[in-house]
Structure 1
């Protein structure tokens, strides 16, 4: 199996880590990436959620819900056309939650590697940034689920590949994925199974530049890209040069979910779960997901600290 150009990304264990943005020049043609967030969907105060906040919980800034978000790729989160305002599905969810808790939203753009320490130390009230629930993370954080963790297989629009559902479907193919991510773990396990079954190995490719990755796929140097479905589907809907040929859970063979993440035992998770479930019930949750083309990742209900992906080796 040939492996080259490994990006040294600080993204270990994070399905959130795709690769790289498609950029506002593409997205603003079809989606609103204006820095004017006055048109964000708003929610009413949720008294039940507010009452569920632990009496001793102190918000980072009084009257504000301080949320860390990594603006890594649309539609989940990216920079607006002013290159500083963070917009996308996660910021919109954060806004609805702030309203539900009777607070003003304060978004802090952070690098993916920085959120764990920031939440643990009380620098942020929460992180809403495509974080997958895992048993290891549950040792230090509480979770309130709000989206399914879904990965997608994308090929060139005119590719003869029409379906990828299981390991044998990628045998012998050149597959782009993100280094240090859940999708890499999955594709390497699929490759291990294929080789053990006497099938051709996968050639895994890593790129640290979105343009280089796109060029590899369009030129035929790569056959497939395997990364978070939301971001790649968003790009496909704009550029029309790729198509999805398969999706799997980010926790394959288990089901994985994305969650609002708070400090362990802080006393905020139940309140957030109540708020999310009310937003699901009143339809505002689905409106946000529809706006950002991620309706396929909707959950039926939010849960506090559900079973997460197991620790390595367990």
Structure 2
């Protein structure tokens, strides 16, 4: 019997989803041998739905040949130029559940789109990163108090964040939905499509803000409201999709498209909005302009496009990096 206001659906086999999740979290490649370098790229089935594919991680080197630009290095503060390092606050990403943004191979090497972009920017600026780990919630305060020169954790540019830090944009992500394969809902184009469903997301994010702001839309339309569950980790959300405790995962577009292409029993349901993402720096810091100029140098050289092609997310880059672009929220 289905719950009123909630689509009835046959629960997928949890064992299959759990096995796929175990592969995604713990290994660079599961099942099969001789993975190809494009195994991590998104592929699509008929109708544009990402299709499950190998969990192989692309390995091509798109960074080491990038040359330093002395003029751009000169834009950095003298203290950074003298020591040759920029302190970056980043989020630890074990396993591969954080890809395409960041993850680890089986030998512990950190990889991902954000990693390649960060390293490419450092190459252009003629410096290296001193990487320090924080949490999504602690990195921006760490940038504010000087603990980090730069923060990078897929931070969307929002009006609230622009009040406390500056941004140098480097990609466009979005707000999208992932569902179980047999959920009788094939797309989400507006939040009222979620009425009566259980939606999982991460606390302290734009996703929470969007769901909270729209919470009254379902009752106003005479429909059962959606229920929101919050998780700090992706693993219980994917397991929830498998056992029916979660109907839909609301999260970043790039990550959810990657999940749909790599986790059996899931499907991408669409994107409802987009957000410019950037490196966060202290208000008024010259580092922001140096980072933006470095990204623009990479765009002009074609290295930027090669990085996005490696991770199968072409079309999600920026045409021009800007300091403090317009906020989406």
Could you say whether these structures have the same fold, taking a TM-score greater than 0.5 normalized by the shorter chain as the test?
Answer: yes
Q: CA deviation at 1:22?
A: 4.6
Q: Which residue of 1 aligns with 2:236?
A: 212
Q: Which whole-Å CA distance do the structure 1 matches of 2:212 and 2:232 have between them?
A: 19
1:70 matches 2:94: no
On the 8 A contact 1:33/1:87 being kept in 2, the answer is no
Q: CA deviation at 1:153?
A: 0.8
Q: Which residue of 2 aligns with 1:241?
A: 265
Counterpart of 2:325 (choices 294, 297, 306) is 306
Q: Which residue of 2 aligns with 1:50?
A: 73
Q: Which whole-Å CA distance do the structure 1 matches of 2:248 and 2:72 have between them?
A: 44
TM-score w.r.t. structure 1 length?
Answer: 0.79
Runs of 5+ unmatched residues, structure 2 = 1-22, 31-53
Counterpart of 2:216 (choices 184, 192, 204) is 192
| Number of residue equivalences | 279
Q: Closer, same or farther in 2 for the Cα pair 1:219/1:121, shift >3 Å? A: closer
Runs of 5+ unmatched residues, structure 1 = 1-20, 250-254
Counterpart of 1:132 (choices 132, 152, 156) is 156
1:290 matches 2:315: no
Q: Closer, same or farther in 2 for the Cα pair 1:198/1:143, shift >3 Å? A: same
Q: Which residue of 1 aligns with 2:190?
A: 166
Q: Which whole-Å CA distance do the structure 1 matches of 2:222 and 2:245 have between them?
A: 24
Q: Which residue of 1 aligns with 2:51?
A: none
- Bigger CA radius of gyration: 2
On the 8 A contact 2:28/2:104 being kept in 1, the answer is no
On the 8 A contact 2:117/2:304 being kept in 1, the answer is yes
1:23 matches 2:25: yes
Q: CA deviation at 1:145?
A: 0.4
1:86 matches 2:105: no
TM-score w.r.t. structure 2 length?
Answer: 0.75
Q: Which whole-Å CA distance do the structure 2 matches of 1:60 and 1:77 have between them?
A: 27
Q: Which whole-Å CA distance do the structure 2 matches of 1:32 and 1:263 have between them?
A: 34
Q: Closer, same or farther in 2 for the Cα pair 1:46/1:60, shift >3 Å? A: closer
Greater Cα offset, 277-286 or 290-299: 290-299
Q: Which residue of 2 aligns with 1:96?
A: 120
Q: Closer, same or farther in 2 for the Cα pair 1:25/1:58, shift >3 Å? A: same
Could you list the per-position Cα deviations for residues 87-145 of structure 1 after superposition, in whole angstroms to 9, with x for gaps in the alignment?
A: 21111111011110011233223222332243233333212221122233223322110
Q: CA deviation at 1:26?
A: 5.9
Q: CA deviation at 1:189?
A: 2.9
Q: Which residue of 2 aligns with 1:177?
A: 201
